[in-house]
Amino acid sequence: MASEAGAGEAQGTFRERVLALVARIPPGRVMTYGQLALLAGQPGAARQAGYVLNTLAGGGELPWQRVINAQGRVSTHKLGFGDMQERLLEAEGVTFDASGRCDLARLQWWPAEEDAPPERLL
């Protein structure tokens, strides 16, 4: 990991942590942008986590589709990837209700080394 030399290095470290976490999300499970930011060491940086993932949307080997918003919805419709993201998740067994939400209580994934999810933080 990077030292505490400068802001640019810290950004790289955040990006690396975000990407490493995304790589670990199992098929059929999801993580929220806020949760991703929290676990990457920058609580409250959900939007920045989203920016990192925008570079992956629509391709690549990392399972970018497994990251959704805190309401359990896909947030990539404005980018043109929303339908693709929903189809990819549905192919893994993630279901959405009529309003486009998945059941976060059942499908949200937390890494094993985390004790328990914070109380309704995300």
Least trusted range by pLDDT, from 8-12, 76-80, 115-119: 8-12
Per the domain annotation, does 122 fall within a domain?
no
Per the domain annotation, does 51 fall within a domain?
yes
For 74, the domain range is: 7-107
What is the SS3 string spanning 61-119? CCCHHHEECCCCCCCCHHHCCHHHHHHHHHHCCCCCCCCCCCCHHHHECCCCCCCCCCC
Per the domain annotation, does 29 fall within a domain?
yes
Indicate whether 1 pLDDT > 90: no
Per the domain annotation, does 115 fall within a domain?
no
CATH number assigned to the domain comprising residue 92: 1.10.10.10
How many independent structural domains does the chain possess?
Answer: 1
0.75 exceeded by the pTM?
yes
- Average the pLDDT over 58-75 and give the result: 90
11-33 residue pLDDT tens: 458 999 999 999 999 999 999 99
Tokens describing residue 116: 């328990």
Strand partners, 108: 30
Least trusted range by pLDDT, from 35-49, 74-88, 90-104: 74-88
